[in-house]
Amino acid sequence: MTDYEELYRQRKERIHTATQLKEPDRVPVLGSFGYFTARYYGINNFEFLFNYEEASKAIVKTSVDFGYDTGAGLSTLGAMPLTLAFLGEYDGLVPGWVNGPVHDILGVRYARFPGRELSMDSPFQFIGEEYMKVNEYDALIADPQRFIAEKLLPRTLRNLADPGSPHAMATLFKWGEERRKSDEAGAKLSKKLKAYGFPGFTSGISYAPLDFIGDFMRDIKNVIFDCYRVPDKVKQACEGLRDLIVEMVRISVEGKPRGSIQFIPLHLNEYFSPKMYAEFYWPTLREVVEEMIKLGVTPELFYEGQHKAHLETILELPKGKTISKFEKTDLKAAKEIIGDHSCIIGGPPSSLFFSTPEKIDTYVKDLFSDVKEGGGFMLSPGVTVPEGAPAENVKALMDAAVKYGVY
Amino acid sequence: MTSEENIIDAIVDLDEPTALRMADQLIKRGVDPVEILEKCRQGMSIVGKKFETGEFFLSEMIMAAEIFNQVMERIRPELTKNSTESKGKILIGTVEGDVHDIGKNIVITLLEAEGYTVVDLGVDVSSARFVEAIKEHKPDIVGMSSLLTVALESTKKTMDAVTEAGLRDSVKIIIGGGRVDPQAAEYIKPDAFTDNAALGVKLIKQLVRGEDP
């Protein structure tokens, strides 16, 4: 019989050791299964996003069957404006996110969901739009939280479009009720995964201030124009949002043990040259990260896309206090530059999961010969396991990690 | 230094106010719009090269394209009167299920700056619309753009629809986007693929010339 408590302890220790830039017993393998979970269990994406019970069953089955070091998870869309709008007023909403039922209740304009705007088997999509005009920077700078609550929410959430109306107030009640249900489902799932020996990995989400503007307010193209046209306003807005985001992190860890990991997905990073990155993106992101570390949080930064040009900036962060996940950045180059400084997470691109177990074996073998030595590395799908990937290939990644990953 | 040279520099320096002021001055002075366009093309060509060599990143490309497009807006009414010969026709769109268009739009701007005719189908384009548009416009090259991983499936579907319609041999097809990689190309089997806008333009030029990229 499997000793799940022992398995839990081993996995937790393995991940912790790698995070501390040391060599664990073998390279940890992080589960990032996305919609593969739904397909593997036999439900469509609609059920996966709207039915907590079925989704939880799918997650437990996928986690147990493939036996990575962390389990699968519920799929939700980060919704930072929802968190920041009520910060300090009602902390039960930290961190904010959108799943199927919440999407129905709020009517989120920046998201399209399967079984609603999309076919039953589509993944949800984030649709960036211009929700704030360029001449509104002054209002955002003057009071970021008020601007988000009073301008951004009504513009981005159909059912809060008329603040103070019976419909909007009822929407907030419904959202609160649903939030409780989903929190309970989430807690139940974590307990179940723990019983099967899976430790959690991240608990919480944070944001780069400029990404907040790009994702939720101005859209990517416009925020880039703004950097050229109204550079000082962009910087001031980032500073205001930085303080709000740091406050969110503080609230999220209040009264909890230190050492939690929080996820920061970066979006605009690959758009910028080092010069633009240093001027507009990095200063307030660095400050957010540094403040998180002071609060006892280990930030896991997901450097989406190609981050090669900015790798050196990671060295400006405190050593051994951050985790760096990469998507398309060459992991060997990353190891050479930041390997002694920040724990690296990376792995195969989605398309490799459609190849063969042999190709995945070779990939892991080659990768480990580049990045394994000295520890401080965790294997994970580059983004997530893509839906529809053959199960044998998903298994092959773990098999290869066991084969080549022992220290 | 003449204004014509200045407008090239202004585009390369991403100096929007100067570039637009120069354009207005040149138009006012009665300079042939074809000549203004040519200068802007030179500017964009330098921008594209800087992107290829890694000096410029996407933000510089996006800003340069914005400046170029604004100058184009100003001179387009004059240009149509004495249109120049097109170097080739490109049909391009973001595949079904995906609405991302930053990469596609950069490619379009660079192609137009090079003197190609571009038919832009927009975003979330169904395979049926691609097929209809190929029949209608008879392009030299078809570009299928996407950002989402899931859109690769839709790119494959579009490719299959073009083949089923018996059009595969009449056009060259390039796929482009953030998640396009050698494995994706092996699966979809286009004539060329890229995850880089400037490289995409280079590949399209090779395809138009009938070269194997």
pLDDT class of A273 with cuts at 50, 70, 90: very high
Per CB-CB distance under 8 Å, the chain B contacts of A270 are: 57-58
Question: What is the signed CA dihedral for A43, A44, A49, A51, rounded to 10 degrees?
Answer: -40
CB atoms within 10 A of CB A384: 22
Instruction: Kindly identify which residue of chain B lies nearest to residue A271, measuring between CA atoms.
Output: B58
Is residue A351 less than 8 Å (CB to CB) from chain B? yes
What is the per-residue pLDDT for B32? 87
Q: Is A125 on the interface with B (CB under 8 A)?
A: yes
Model pLDDT, residue A33: 95
pLDDT, position A144: 98
Q: Are A388 and A36 in contact (CB under 8 A)?
A: yes
Fold of the A4-404 domain? TIM Barrel (3.20.20)
A332 alpha carbon, distance to own chain's centre:
23
Task: Identify which of A307, A288, A315 has the alpha carbon closest to the alpha carbon of residue A299.
Answer: A288
Residues in A touching B188 (Cβ below 8 Å): none
Is the CB of residue A234 less than 8 Å from the CB of residue A210?
Answer: yes
A309 close contact with B: CB closer than 8 A: yes
Res. A71: pLDDT tops 60: yes
CA distance B39 to B78: 16
CA distance A75 to chain B (A): 15
Give the nearest chain B residue to A355 (CA atoms): B183
State the pLDDT at residue A2: 84
Q: Is the pLDDT of residue A82 over 80?
A: yes
Residue B129 has pLDDT above 90, yes or no: yes
Distances (CA, A) of A345 to A64, A251, A325, A378, A401: 22, 27, 4, 5, 13
Quote the pLDDT of residue B2.
56
**What's the pLDDT tens digit per position in A284-336?**
999 999 999 999 999 999 999 999 999 999 999 999 999 999 999 999 999 99
Q: Is pLDDT at A52 greater than 60 in this prediction? A: yes
Domains of chain B: 3-82 (1.10.1240.10), 89-208 (3.40.50.280)
Contacts with B180 (C-beta within 8 Å, 6 or more apart), sequence order: B146, B152, B193, B194, B195
Cβ neighbours of residue A242 under 8 Å, at least 6 residues apart?
A209, A284, A287, A288
In chain B, which residues touch A (CB < 8 A)?
14, 16, 54-60, 62-63, 66, 97, 99, 102, 148-150, 152-153, 178-179, 181, 183-184, 187
| Residues of chain A positioned with their CB less than 8 A from the CB of B99 | 125, 127
**Complex prediction ipTM:** 0.91
Predicted confidence at residue B82, as pLDDT, reads: 57
Closest Cα in chain B, distance from residue A234 (Å): 15
Report pLDDT digits (tens) over B9-60: 999 999 999 999 999 999 999 998 888 988 998 999 999 889 888 899 999 9
Q: Does A123 touch chain B (CB under 8 A)?
A: yes
A221 touches chain B (CB under 8 A): yes
| pLDDT tens digit sequence for B47-88 | 988 988 889 999 999 999 999 999 988 887 777 665 667 899
**Tell me, what's the pLDDT at A77?**
85
Beta-bridge partners for A157:
A108
Average model confidence (pLDDT) for chain A? 95
Pairwise CB contact (< 8 Å): B183 & A355: yes
Structure tokens at A245: 């985001």
How many CB atoms sit inside 10 A of residue A212's CB? 25
pLDDT at B1: 46
Asked if B97 lies within 8 A of A122 by C-beta distance, the reply is: yes
**For B172, phi and psi rounded to 5 degrees?**
-100, 140
A272 at interface of B, judged by CB pairs closer than 8 A = yes
Mean pLDDT over B186-193 rounds to: 94
Say whether pLDDT at B213 is over 80: no
pLDDT reading at B3 higher than 70: no
For residue B153, give how far its alpha carbon lies from the nearest alpha carbon of chain A (Å).
10
- CA B154 to chain A, closest CA, distance in angstroms equals 11
d(CA B173, CA A364): 32
> Within 10 A of B150 (CB to CB), how many other CB atoms are there?
22
- The reported pLDDT for the residue numbered A127 is 86
Where helices occur in A196-351 by DSSP H, the ranges are: 209-212, 220-229, 231-253, 274-276, 282-294, 331-338
In this structure, the strands spanning A202-205 and B117-120 are unpaired
Q: What is the mean pLDDT of chain B?
A: 90
In 3D space, the residue among A71, A73, A74, A72 whose CA is nearest the CA of residue A197 turns out to be: A71
Amino acid at site A233: K
pLDDT at A218 over 80: yes
DSSP A69: S
